Amino acid sequence: MFLKRIEIQGFKSFADKTDIELSGGITCVVGPNGSGKSNISDAIRWVLGEQSAKTLRGSKMEDVIFSGTSRRKPLGFAEVTLVFDNKDGSLPIDYSEVCITRRLFRSGESEYYINKNSCRLKDIRELFMDTGVGKDGYSIIGQGRIDEILSSKSEDRRNIFEEAAGIVKFKTRKEESEKK
């Protein structure tokens, strides 16, 4: 499985629809300060269900919607789609290409989709469980996260190993059934 395309529209500095094609291997994003490099990784975290505006470097979730410039009006919604190549079947879903979309309106209304079918955030979380992808997965290592991992509590470190070992879904199911 690998991320093959990111489609961004109305998210932070990406007012116009922008498609970023990624081939396998390593992709580097370079550009001057403030040109939107970190906004791309924020967009990825956001689709995967990040609920903390602070983690996305804002003060409220609405801050992810393009807020306008002196020459351009603010937009009413933000939408990001991640397209994964799933030819190897890493994601437990019967599609060789999997699109995950999140849309947020200024009214606060939020929508999630898997392959254009409306779904819950929980469905997206479950789809990526144990793959290392996900808002808390180890596939996104932000600035300072290495320090955090090294110095964090042993339980937090354990979560990282459990995700890598592929047992998070069993643990989550056990916790859910214990709650019932």
Q: Which residues contact 137 (CB under 8 A, 6 or more apart)?
A: 48, 128, 131, 163
Quickly tell me which residue has 């009006």 as its tokens.
73
One of 38, 152, 159, 172 touching ligand ATP (CB under 6 A): 38
Pick from 24, 25, 34, 108 the residue near ligand ATP by CB under 6 A: 34
- Which amino acid, one-letter code, is at 31? G
Task: Tell whether residue 18 is a contact of ligand ATP (CB under 6 A).
Answer: no
Residue closest to 13 by CA, chosen among 65, 57, 77, 55? 65
In the structure encoding, which two tokens stand for residue 50, read together?
Answer: 């990040």
Its sign, for the CA torsion 8, 11, 14, 17, is positive
Piece in contact with ligand ATP (CB under 6 A), picked from 16-24, 64-72, 82-90, 99-107? 64-72
Interaction of residue 38 with Mg ion, rule CB under 5 A:
yes
Please, which residue, 147 or 178, has the CB nearer to ligand ATP?
147
Q: Which is nearer to ligand ATP, 12 or 135 (CB)?
A: 12
Inter-residue contact 8 to 14 (CB < 8 Å) = yes
Nearest by Cα to 82 from 51, 122, 127, 52: 127
What is the C-alpha to C-alpha distance for residues 132 and 89, in angstroms, rounded to an integer?
Answer: 15
Residue 53 sits in the site that holds ligand ATP (CB under 6 A): no
66 binds ligand ATP (CB under 6 A): yes
- Which span sits near ligand ATP by CB under 6 A: 29-37, 104-112, 150-158, 160-168? 29-37
Does position 36 interact with ligand ATP (CB under 6 A)? The reply is: yes
Q: Does 144 bind ligand ATP (CB under 6 A)?
A: no
* Cα(146)–Cα(152) distance, integer angstroms: 10
Determine whether the annotation assigns residue 36 to a binding site. Answer: yes
- Interacting residue ranges for ligand ATP, rule: CB under 6 A: 12-13, 31, 33-39, 63, 65-67
- Interacting residue ranges for Mg ion, rule: CB under 5 A: 37-38
